[in-house]
């Protein structure tokens, strides 16, 4: 006799039995690659061809500059990704927070590099914790909060500084502009943040809750998830990322001023948004990955640097980023609606 628990695969399962001729059962259709993935693949190939044809792009100086620029945009984009995954669209005040953090870092260097960095990160985290509370606890519209925060932060910074230049009050942080094994320290920090972020997103309870809330906040609340706490923590992480960029900008540029005419760091938001969208993170929340944002950052920055090497102006690069963002928004929306399913 044969035990009923042994080798169950010997008995064919009618549900998965192969269709026979004349049975009227059609085999399942092969799933074709989603059109957004095809478009991304074509775009990457075209970009690589463009880079190869760009004289001076693959020199050591050019690549080091690319990695440094990618890290600055990338760290902000990581914070942007966390916000997007939580289902709260995007932020428009990470760049301006980075600029304010630069001022804080320069003004507090007199207390030592460690204290200055800590205070700067805490300021960025505090700024975004307020936004997280407004959205998480009070249910405020994230877009309105983002726009209002941009105006409030920039206005406060201009009022405090009077738009004047802030001089470094001390030293000790110059080592942050150095290199490790040939890589800029800022890029090493960016990679470390990305690895930690992806591990947190994929392997922790917080990461799973963040994706659940981004997918459907009401379901998450009904199931007893700590929605407010997760959203606030997500915004705190984003603020800390922006403040970290402020530290590196303070070391890179030294004395700086804050004014509306200089943009107040808004360009960092545009570049980060482009990177997040090109990486494929959904604006509807719940779908995306940190590693995808890293890829998006490298693609956006490589394109921008190549354009500059070809003699195009900074305005042309901004125009290109605008087109990329517009196309990525359309593709992201159609993907979320399932328009590209095969």
Torsion, CA 257, CA 261, CA 265, CA 268, rounded to 10: -140
**pLDDT for 263:** 58
Q: Please, are residues 52 and 300 in contact by the beta-carbon 8 Å criterion?
A: no
Per-residue pLDDT tens over the stretch 229-249: 999 999 999 999 999 999 999
Quick one: tokens of 77? Answer: 């984009």
Burial 201-226 (b: 16+ CB within 10 A, else e): beeeebbebbbbbbbebeebeeeebe
**pLDDT for 264:** 67
The C-alpha atoms of residue 73 and residue 194 are separated, in whole angstroms, by 13
Instruction: Kindly state whether residue 341 falls inside one of the protein's structural domains.
Output: no
Of the pLDDT bands very low, low, confident and very high (cuts 50, 70, 90), residue 252 is: confident
Of the pLDDT bands very low, low, confident and very high (cuts 50, 70, 90), residue 258 is: low
Q: Which domain holds residue 139?
A: 35-45+59-333
**pLDDT for 280:** 84
**DSSP letter (8 states) at residue 146:** H
DSSP for 85-131? HTTS---S-HHHHHHHHHHHHHHHGGG-HHHHHHHHHHHHHHHHHHH
**pLDDT for 1:** 47
Q: Please, are residues 239 and 79 in contact by the beta-carbon 8 Å criterion?
A: yes
Instruction: Kindly state whether residue 23 falls inside one of the protein's structural domains.
Output: no
Domain count, the chain: 1
Overall average pLDDT of the 312-318 stretch: 82
Instruction: Kindly state whether residue 5 falls inside one of the protein's structural domains.
Output: no
Of the pLDDT bands very low, low, confident and very high (cuts 50, 70, 90), residue 341 is: very low
pLDDT at 282 over 50: yes
The C-alpha atoms of residue 251 and residue 132 are separated, in whole angstroms, by 29
The C-alpha atoms of residue 85 and residue 325 are separated, in whole angstroms, by 18
**pLDDT for 6:** 46
Question: For the domain that residue 105 is a member of, what is the CATH number?
Answer: 1.10.3470
Per-residue pLDDT tens over the stretch 43-63: 788 888 988 888 888 898 889
Instruction: Kindly state whether residue 6 falls inside one of the protein's structural domains.
Output: no
Instruction: Kindly state whether residue 16 falls inside one of the protein's structural domains.
Output: no
Phi (first) and psi of residue 123, to 5 degrees: -65, -45
The C-alpha atoms of residue 260 and residue 28 are separated, in whole angstroms, by 58
Overall average pLDDT of the 177-198 stretch: 94
Instruction: Kindly state whether residue 53 falls inside one of the protein's structural domains.
Output: no
Overall average pLDDT of the 332-341 stretch: 61
Instruction: Kindly state whether residue 158 falls inside one of the protein's structural domains.
Output: yes
**pLDDT for 55:** 85
Per-residue pLDDT tens over the stretch 191-235: 999 999 999 999 999 999 999 999 999 999 999 999 999 999 999
Instruction: Kindly state whether residue 3 falls inside one of the protein's structural domains.
Output: no
Per-residue pLDDT tens over the stretch 93-142: 999 999 999 999 988 988 999 999 999 999 999 999 999 999 999 999 99
The pTM of the full predicted model, rounded to 2 decimals, is 0.84
Tell me the C-alpha to C-alpha distance, in Å, between residue 97 and each of 6, 51, 84.
63, 33, 18
């Amino acid at each position: 006799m044969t035990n009923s628990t042994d080798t169950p695969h010997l008995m064919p399962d009618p549900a998965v039995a192969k269709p026979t001729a004349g049975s009227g059962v059609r085999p399942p259709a092969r799933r074709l690659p989603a059109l957004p993935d095809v478009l991304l693949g074509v775009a990457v190939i075209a970009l690589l061809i463009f880079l190869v044809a760009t004289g001076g792009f693959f020199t050591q100086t050019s690549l080091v500059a690319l990695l440094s620029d990618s890290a600055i945009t990338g760290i902000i984009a990581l914070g942007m990704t966390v916000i997007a995954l939580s289902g709260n669209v995007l932020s428009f005040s990470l760049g301006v927070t980075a600029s304010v953090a630069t001022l804080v870092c320069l003004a507090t260097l007199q207390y030592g590099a460690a204290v200055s960095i800590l205070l700067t990160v805490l300021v960025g985290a505090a700024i975004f914790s307020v936004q997280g509370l407004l959205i998480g606890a009070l249910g405020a519209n994230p877009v309105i909060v983002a726009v209002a925060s941009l105006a409030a932060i920039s206005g406060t910074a201009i009022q405090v500084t009077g738009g004047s230049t802030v001089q470094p009050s001390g030293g000790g942080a110059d080592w942050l502009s150095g290199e490790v094994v040939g890589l800029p320290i800022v890029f090493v920090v960016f990679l470390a943040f990305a690895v930690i972020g992806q591990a947190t997103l994929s392997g922790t309870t917080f990461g799973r809750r963040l994706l659940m809330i981004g997918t459907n906040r009401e379901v998450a609340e009904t199931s007893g998830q700590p929605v407010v706490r997760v959203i606030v923590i997500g915004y705190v992480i984003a603020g800390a990322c922006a403040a970290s960029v402020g530290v590196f900008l303070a070391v890179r540029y030294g004395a700086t001023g804050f004014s509306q005419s200089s943009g107040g760091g808004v360009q960092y938001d545009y570049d980060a948004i482009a990177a997040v969208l090109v990486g494929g993170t959904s604006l509807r929340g719940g779908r995306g990955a940190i590693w995808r944002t890293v890829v998006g950052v490298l693609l956006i920055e490589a394109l921008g640097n190549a354009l500059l090497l070809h003699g195009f102006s900074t305005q042309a690069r901004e125009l290109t980023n605008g087109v990329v963002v517009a196309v990525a928004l359309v593709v992201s929306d159609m993907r979320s609606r399932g328009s590209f399913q095969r």
